[in-house]
Amino acid sequence: MQARERSRSAGPSAGHGILAPMDSAAHPPSAALRNPVGAHVPVAARGLAGTGLAYARKVGAEAVQVFVANPRGWATPEGNPAQDEEFRTACAAAGIPAYVHAPYLINFGSDSGATRARSAESLRHSLLRAHRIGALGVVVHTGSAVGRAADGGSRYAAAMAQVREDVRPLLDELDVLGEDAPWLLLEPTAGQGSSLCSRMEDLAAYAAALDHHPKVGVCLDTCHAFAAGHDLAAPDGVGRTLDALVAAVGPGRLRLIHANDSMDVVGARKDRHANIGAGHIGADAFRTLLAHPATEGVPLIIETPDGRHDPDRVEGARHTADLDLLKRLRTEAGPVLRR
């Protein structure tokens, strides 16, 4: 199947970037936008503010997502207090929504006690660091039921019991942080292996295991949903997917969208992101998503290829193009501003 044609500009971002002037009618603050669009930004070298915010400015991001620890390790660094405060202050001043993505190794469905303990420590660290830097939520993958049950069958039931046992206490700790505590955002996976939650309907059992805690929300990754069998490219695919999400967890729980196209066909159960409009989902689906009632006020974050391996690499060029396209689709979907 041919990837859908991608129509975009390779020039500078048409939208305002982080810390850009916010008093222009042409570039309203992120808080006024129906759907701020932004990117997962790098933070190596000069930290959250020095590297992360500089990259956000470069690509024209209206929202940001960051790692606060090695995404492929268990380390729980304290962070740089000065960078934390600069990042928090800058995002607050510009009205920029910020999010933290927890490390990929976290899996509360594992049959390893050591992995579960490390997962709890790692997620606790992400939640506390998110609170410190003023992030609105922490995205965590919903995990998988690793191993087999004693009878050789699935460990799904045992794994879901572990989710409750390990994550519920962390939510109690969130309560202590007060009203500005970050949301815990469950990100369904692409359906690989013994996934605990990949289809939208799977979210119902996951949320129930956590007692529908008021700070439990959802991060919808469009590539993951497509890989898991939700055909977002079909004429009514986006609507049916979002309706299924709301039916599973209730209104107001969708708090973030990872806007990623897919290199693979629907149902492939492969998590391979493509640039917006350059994959099998196509640009039209994102326009529809930006107009659906369930996405009102929900930021979009791209995690698309950044072109670092392109022969003529220009740092951030692909991300700038992705955000420009999403902003154009947002305008076409209308209205751009929140009601």
pLDDT at 206: 98
Indicate the helix (H) or strand (E) that contains 47: helix 47-47
| pLDDT above 70: residue 250 | yes
Total-model pTM:
0.92
| pLDDT above 70: residue 43 | yes
Query: Over pLDDT 90: what percentage of the chain?
Result: 83
- Identity of the amino acid at 51: T
Name the average pLDDT for the chain: 91
How does pLDDT run across 161-220, given as a tens digit for each residue?
999 999 999 999 999 999 999 999 999 999 998 999 999 999 999 999 999 999 999 999
Beta strand spans in the chain (E)? 37-40, 64-66, 98-101, 137-141, 183-187, 216-221, 254-258, 261-262, 273-274, 300-302
| pLDDT above 50: residue 39 | yes
Largest CA distance in the chain: 65
Residue 114, judged by CB atoms within 10 A of its CB (0-12, 13-18, 19+), counts as exposed
Q: Please count the other Cβ atoms lying within 10 Å of the Cβ belonging to residue 79.
A: 19
CA 108 – CA 96 distance, rounded (Å): 31
Span 78-90, average pLDDT: 95
pLDDT at 27: 65
Span 271-287, average pLDDT: 98
CA 279 – CA 4 distance, rounded (Å): 6
23 within domain boundaries: no
pLDDT at 147: 84
The CATH number for 103's domain is 3.20.20.150
17 within domain boundaries: no
pLDDT at 19: 54
- End-to-end, the C-alpha distance of the chain in Å comes to 39
- The pair of structure tokens assigned to 181 is 């505590």
| pLDDT above 70: residue 36 | yes
20 within domain boundaries: no
6 within domain boundaries: no
1 within domain boundaries: no
3-class DSSP assignment, residue 144: strand
Name 219's bridge partners: 256
pLDDT at 150: 81
- CA torsion angle for 311, 314, 318, 324 (degrees, to 10)? -150
Query: Over pLDDT 70: what percentage of the chain?
Result: 92
Rg of the chain over all Cα atoms, to the nearest angstrom? 19
Q: Please count the other Cβ atoms lying within 10 Å of the Cβ belonging to residue 297.
A: 15
Domain with 66 in it: 31-333
Nearest CA-CA partner of 163 in 189, 142, 185? 142
pLDDT band for position 26 (cuts 50, 70, 90): low
Q: Report the range of poorest mean pLDDT among 89-93, 96-100, 311-315.
A: 311-315
How does pLDDT run across 124-161, given as a tens digit for each residue?
999 999 999 999 999 999 999 998 888 878 899 999 99
pLDDT at 308: 78
7 within domain boundaries: no
| pLDDT above 60: residue 240 | yes
84 within domain boundaries: yes
For tokens 């055909």, what's the residue? 231
338 within domain boundaries: no
Q: Into how many domains does the chain fold?
A: 1
